[in-house]
Amino acid sequence: MIFLNFFISGISLGSIYAIIALGYTMVYGIAKMLNFAHGDVIMVGAYVCFYAVSRYGMNPFVGVVLAMAVCTSLGIVIERFAYKPLRQAPSLAVLITAIGMSYFLQNTALLLWSSNPKVFPSIIGRGSFKLFEGKLSVSHVTVLTIATCVIIMIVLSLFISKTKLGKAMRACSEDKGAAQLMGINVNATISLTFAIGSGLAAIAGALLCSAYPTLMPTTGSLPGIKAFTAAVFGGIGSIPGAFLGGLMLGVIEIFAKAYISSQLSDAVVFGVLIVVLLVKPSGLLGKQLQEKV
């Protein structure tokens, strides 16, 4: 029974990684850039939601929608001023800019909202479902997070494979130059990708802080790194891969803590990552792309 309890803890932690990883993988898959500021957009989303709910007494779901609106606009602004001017620059320059943006957001948050941690009000309460006469418990937040993950995953996959805009995104991802020649507005498509990714970040922020309720300007950065790892684990660029990678990372982390050593859990998690990448360099569900010579 304890084993099952740990498994459920792993799934709840993993579902949080998964929902953050979806945003990473989406942006990477289309724009081919690692948006390291993603974790910090999550933090901004969580703060907006916190203020809407705690200070202004709004309904939590209105708070999440508001946070999505703010994060989407923020994503567009970041993309316009920080990443767009670097469209032709080497990818290393963009990567450094993303790291800079991450620090910029963290420190702005520090000035605006101070470093004092705040306790986030859960958007659906702190209750849990009891199974087997209360021996197992699954919190409502976990169920909501997994459901949200699955819905987002399906909607995103359908959007990318079925709609015209999705087709444009896939084209940009394969070859920006050729896509442009075919009459696709590459800039607008990439901006749209960022807008969607940042909107997802707001949802992830609200769920992250509902599950683990302290909120600080650095709240998003470390889960962001873990989620990035999850995305790589599952195969970066692949949407189901991010989901699978997130869940697996969470379960491995909890099992490593429980059965190996609570001091070495991160070493085990990253050890597994190295092994997976050695055996399958593109990640669990990643596509092996042939480079044309």
Partner 1 sequence: MKKTLICAVLVLAMAASAFGASFKIGGTGPLTGGAAIYGNAAKNGAELAVEEINAMDGTVKFEIRYEDDTHDAEKAVNAYNALKDWGMQISLGSVTSKPAEATAAENFADRIFALTPSASSAAVTEGKDNVFQMCFVDPNQGTASAQYIASKGLAKKVAVIWKNDDVYSKGVYDTFMENAPKQGLEVVSDTAFADGNDTDFSVQLTDAQTKGAELVFLPMYYQPASLILAQAQAMGYAPKWFGIDGMDGILTMEGFDKSLAEGVMLLTPFNADATDAKTKSFVAKYQEKFGEVPNQFAADGYDCVYAYKEALELAKATPDMSAEEICAKMIEQFTTMTFNGVTGENVKWAANGEVSKDPKGMVIKNGAYVGLD
Q: Work out the number of other CB atoms within 10 angstroms of the CB of residue 158.
A: 11
Smaller CB distance to partner 1: residue 133 or 291?
133
Q: Which is nearer to partner 1, 38 or 226 (CB)?
A: 226
Maximum CA pair distance of the chain?
A: 63
Selected range binding partner 1 among 9-17, 25-33, 87-95, 170-178, rule: CB under 8 A: 9-17
- 8 contact partners, CB below 8 Å, separation of at least 6: 136, 137, 138, 142
Amino acid at 131: L
- Whole-angstrom Cα distance, residue 83 to residue 79? 5
In the complex with partner 1, the residue whose CB is nearer, 91 or 114, is 114
Using CB under 8 A, which of 150, 182, 188, 222 touches partner 1? 222
The residue within the footprint of partner 1, chosen from 32, 65, 128, 143 (CB under 8 A), is 128
> From the CB of 75, what's the least distance to partner 1, in Å?
24
Name which position in 73, 115, 163, 185 contacts partner 1 (CB under 8 A).
115
Q: How far apart are CA 17 and CA 226, in angstroms?
A: 7
Residue 15 within binding range of partner 1, rule CB under 8 A:
no
Number of other residues whose CB lies within 10 A of the CB of residue 265: 17
Do 70 and 78 contact (CB within 8 A), yes or no? Answer: no
Number of residues that bind partner 1 (CB under 8 A): 42
Helix (H) or strand (E) holding 201: helix 186-211
Burial class (CB in 10 A: 0-12, 13-18, 19+), 277: middle
Contact region with partner 1 (CB under 8 A), list: 93-101, 184-192, 219-227, 277-285:
219-227
Q: Which 229-248 residues touch partner 1, going by CB under 8 A?
A: none
Which CB atom, from 76 or from 136, has the smaller least distance to partner 1? 136
> Is 243 in contact with 22 (CB distance < 8 Å)?
yes
The interface region with partner 1, picked from 40-48, 207-215, 238-246, 276-284 by CB under 8 A, is 207-215
- Interacting residue with partner 1 among 65, 265, 282, 284 (CB under 8 A): 265
Nearest distance from C-beta of residue 280 to partner 1, angstroms: 24
Nearer to partner 1, 118 or 176 (CB): 118
**Are 152 and 164 a contacting pair, CB within 8 Å?**
no
Nearest-angstrom CA–CA distance, 265 and 253: 6
Please tell me whether residue 289 binds partner 1 under the rule CB under 8 A: no
| Cβ proximity of 76 and 194 under 8 Å | yes
The Cα–Cα gap between 162 and 166 comes to 7
Considering only the stretches 2-10, 93-101, 188-196, 285-293, report the one whose residues sit in contact with partner 1 under the rule CB under 8 A.
2-10
CB of 97 to partner 1, least distance (A): 21
List contacts with partner 1 (CB under 8 A). 2, 5-6, 9, 12-13, 16, 50, 54, 107, 110, 114-121, 126, 128, 137, 139, 211-214, 216-218, 222-223, 225-226, 253-254, 257-258, 262-263, 265-266
